[in-house]
Structure 1
Amino acid sequence: MIDSVDVPIIASHVPAYAHPGDAGADLVATEAVHLEPGERALVGTGVRIALPEGFVAFVVPRSGLAARHGITIVNAPGTVDAGYRGEIRVSLLNTDLHASYDVSVGDRIAQVIVMPVPRVRFTPVEELPQSSRGERGFGSTGYQTGVSS
Structure 2
Amino acid sequence: MSAQPDAPLTADGRLRVLVRRLRPDAHLPAYARPGDAGADLASVVEVTLAPGERGLIATGVAIAVPAGWVGLVHPRSGLAARHGITVVNAPGTIDSGYRGEILVNLVNLDPSESFTIRPGDRIAQLLLQQVAEATFDEVDSLPETTRGETGHGSTGGFAGIHDRAPGAPAELSPRRTS
TM-score class, shorter: over 0.9
Where does residue 27 of structure 1 map in the other structure? Answer: 41
- Answer with 7-16 or 32-41: which moved more: 7-16
Where does residue 117 of structure 2 map in the other structure? Answer: 103
- Give the CA RMSD over aligned residues: 1.6
1:8 counterpart letter in structure 2: L
Which of these residues, 34, 53, 61, is aligned with residue 47 of structure 1? Answer: 61
The C-alpha deviation readout for 1:2-49, integer Å capped at 9, x for no partner, is 352111101321111112221111000000000110011111001101
3-state SS of the aligned residue for 1:45? strand
Does residue 124 of structure 1 match 2:160? Answer: no
3-state SS of the aligned residue for 2:101? coil
Residues of 2 paired with 1:42 and 1:75: CA distance?
A: 11
Residues of 2 paired with 1:33 and 1:117: CA distance?
A: 34
- Answer with 71-80 or 9-18: which moved more: 9-18
Where does residue 154 of structure 2 map in the other structure? Answer: 140
Q: Which has the bigger relative contact order, CA under 8 A and spacing at least 6?
A: 1
Shift of 1:147: 9.4
Percent of aligned pairs sharing the same letter: 53
Residues of 2 paired with 1:101 and 1:46: CA distance?
A: 21
Does residue 10 of structure 1 match 2:20? Answer: yes
3-state SS of the aligned residue for 1:88? strand
Report which of the two structures shows the higher radius of gyration computed on alpha carbons. 2
3-state SS of the aligned residue for 1:64? helix
2:114 counterpart letter in structure 1: S
Where does residue 66 of structure 1 map in the other structure? Answer: 80
Q: In the comparison of the two structures, how many residue pairs are matched?
A: 148
